[in-house]
Structure 1
Amino acid sequence: MSGGARRLGPLLVRGVLAGLFFSATFVLNRAMSQAGGHWVWSAALRYLHMLLLLAVALAATGQGAVLRGALRLFRAHLGFWVVAGGVGCGLFYAPLCLAAAYAPGWVVATTWQSTVLATPLVLFAFGRPVPLRGLAFTALVFLGIALVTLEQAGGAGVREVALGAAPVLLAAFAYPVGNQLVWEARRGGRRWVPHLDDPLLDHDLARVLLLVLGSLPFWLVLGAAVRPPPPSAAQVGRTALVALLSGVVATSLFLSARHRARTAYELAAVDATQATEVIFSVAGEVALLGGAPPGPLGAGGVALALSGLGLYLGAQTRPPPAARS
């Protein structure tokens, strides 16, 4: 096994574990939607809970210096973190919660796999080499998403399908853009991104905390614009659970894997592991919410999306010599 493959293996394990905990987002958001909870609260409360959880976790584990350092770094580069957090948290998560009001969790999770296609475009936009080897397999992911959408369209109107899919496509681009901004800032070399040569960015919880802090203006503006009715106690509790499982545990695992990636190949492979969320979301929604499993077309779409992921990752573990940097 090549050194690149040995290095990539632990990153993929972290990515799959993140996918397991991320799946709580799709299942619990659907549960809150079915109970009448407003999507704005499902989104905003998650990040408010995350802010509290991260601060308590750092303080309780004797990492007050990390908390203070994160606040210092946030103030020093306020504009950058507001943009990175607004895109990577706000424009990522608000659309996912909106989509949950119109589509089952497994449909949202499958459509979310379009982030596998978005990642190479984001890398190209940032001037990074695009991992061409294996990208042909991502066509299977796209076809799988199309099949799931077609099945969903069979039982709903065009408006419902559009509101269930279009927001997720926006989220699929926003998430890698926000993460890539942080990756670029840590490494430098981009005139329009500040070079944050601070070891604090190597701390997993600190990176998440900085993005959450940066997203706060987004949630304030969204809440003022939409003016949702007050949340129920059940919605507050469920968003706290999402914040813990998906916001803290999953996000820390995922950003940890992404931060340790050295090449565009490894970045794309880590991002692609999130297709495992489909399996976990289907299982969770059927087992916990009594949801109907995918029909033949939807099941075929899920299988194609996961097959594309497997082939894609298989190619990424054997990058060409020129990509081993």
Structure 2
Amino acid sequence: MLKIKIIKAISLGILSALFLSSGIIVNSLNAYHGGSWAWTASLRYLLLLPVLIVLVLLRGNLSDLIRSFKKIPVTFLLWGNLGFGGYYALLSYAIRIAPGWLVTAGFMTTVLAGILIAPFIYDDHRAKISKKALTLSSFLVISLVTMQFDHIAKLEHLPELLLSLGMALLAAFLWPLGNRKLMLDLERKEIKLDPMQRVLGMTVGSLPILIALSLYGFYTSGAPSSLQLKSSFIAVLFSGVVGSTLFFKALQMVSKNQFALMTVEATQVTGVLFTLFGEMIFKGTPWPGFYGNLGFAMMALSLGCYSWLSIKKTGASAVKNTVALGI
């Protein structure tokens, strides 16, 4: 039963990456058409807010979320601003000055970031860094770098590109930090919220930075264009509602299994592949050469090992618990 649950969580993680990558694609297209990065960053969640309110209200779960928000407002505000608003603002600005594939590759180092921050946020078994997970995640990051060898030699304006990559790397840490800290605080306060409630709570918490970004966007470039509004709304539906909810659900399914949790986070690297497909369709980006294919093969191998070890560890733990109980 536990193995099936982990397989489902991994599958949901990959599916969420498909929908979450639509946000990166929309950002890239908005930047390509000259849209304001500040509006792109703020509209993603400002347009998401009313949609989520309606969905949560229809499910009869809004009052529970309001009570939870009143109990731990600082948690929602802090991690909402950093884990939602802050991380997305960094990605939106980064895509303004660098190709989408480069920003996506930089952000996907989040698979390693999630492991490195664990000792600083947990005080139980989840604080221990698994050497196998660290090795596999490092291998995933190497695969991401390998994918870019065909492109890096052709890049210009290196200082701006390094700045963009640095912002993507910072976003890579803020995303898992915000998600994990919220789940941990809810766990400690024994507050039970479903994935959609948590996404809405984080979105409400991110309002201060979203309002600031929209004011800056209006001051520097006026109101957003109709194209930017339409594309942002598409990103809201696919990435904000479907992608985020699926990802939170996958994390929740394995929240107390550290290795499985890292495996689900590792599935997000498949977003590089989905982003590439999107840019090939909408921007005519060519399929990568030898190094790109090699990187994808390395990525597939790493994810396969991650999934296998996650299921194997769960099976071993179940056997130990059965023996300990004398069953």
TM-score by length of 2: 0.87
1:317 alignment partner, SS class? helix
Shift of 1:7: 2.4
Task: State the identity %.
Answer: 29
Contact 1:40 1:228 in 2 (8 A): no
Q: Distance in 2 between matches of 1:15 and 1:228?
A: 37
Q: Distance in 2 between matches of 1:315 and 1:50?
A: 36
Q: What's 2:171 paired with?
A: 171
- Is 2:298 the partner of 1:307? no
Specify every segment of 5 or more residues in structure 2 that has no aligned partner in the other structure, as ranges: 322-327
**Which is worse superposed, 97-106 or 82-91?**
97-106
Contact 2:36 2:221 in 1 (8 A): yes
1:242 to 235, 240, 247: 235
Q: Distance in 2 between matches of 1:292 and 1:99?
A: 21
Matched residue type, 2:141: F
Q: What's 2:4 paired with?
A: 6
Q: Distance in 2 between matches of 1:34 and 1:28?
A: 10
Q: Distance in 2 between matches of 1:306 and 1:166?
A: 25
The equivalences for 1:227-238 within 5 A come to 227-230=219-222, 231-238=224-231
Shift of 1:126: 1.3
1:18 alignment partner, SS class? helix
Q: What's 2:259 paired with?
A: 265
Measured at CA, do residues 164 and 144 of structure 1 come closer, stay the same or move farther in structure 2, by a change above 3 Å?
farther
Shift of 1:263: 1.2
Q: Deviations over 1:16-72 (max 9, x none)?
A: 11011011012111111100001111110010111011112233x3x3x41233233
1:80 to 75, 84, 108: 75
Matched residue type, 2:200: L
Shift of 1:307: 3.0
Contact 1:134 1:316 in 2 (8 A): no
- Is 2:210 the partner of 1:219? yes
TM-score by length of 1: 0.88
- Is 2:112 the partner of 1:112? no
Shift of 1:298: 3.7
- Is 2:287 the partner of 1:293? yes
Q: What's 1:41 paired with?
A: 39
Q: Distance in 1 between matches of 2:172 and 2:227?
A: 28
Q: Deviations over 1:259-312 (max 9, x none)?
A: 121211121011111111112111111022212332433443344334323322
Q: Distance in 2 between matches of 1:187 and 1:137?
A: 28
Measured at CA, do residues 298 and 81 of structure 1 come closer, stay the same or move farther in structure 2, by a change above 3 Å?
same
Q: Distance in 2 between matches of 1:282 and 1:109?
A: 9
Q: Distance in 2 between matches of 1:306 and 1:167?
A: 26
Specify every segment of 5 or more residues in structure 1 that has no aligned partner in the other structure, as ranges: 189-194
Q: Distance in 2 between matches of 1:285 and 1:309?
A: 23
1:118 alignment partner, SS class? helix
Contact 1:116 1:138 in 2 (8 A): yes
Measured at CA, do residues 304 and 163 of structure 1 come closer, stay the same or move farther in structure 2, by a change above 3 Å?
farther
- Is 2:203 the partner of 1:207? no
Contact 1:133 1:319 in 2 (8 A): no
Q: What's 1:252 paired with?
A: 245
Matched residue type, 2:284: G
Q: What's 1:153 paired with?
A: 152
2:272 to 278, 283, 288: 278
Q: Distance in 2 between matches of 1:304 and 1:111?
A: 17
1:318 alignment partner, SS class? helix
- How many residue pairs get aligned? The number is 311
1:187 alignment partner, SS class? helix
2:47 alignment partner, SS class? helix
Q: Distance in 2 between matches of 1:6 and 1:303?
A: 26
Shift of 1:214: 0.3
Shift of 1:130: 2.5
Shift of 1:6: 2.5
The equivalences for 1:61-76 within 5 A come to 61=58, 63=59, 65-76=60-71
Shift of 1:225: 5.6
Contact 1:99 1:108 in 2 (8 A): yes
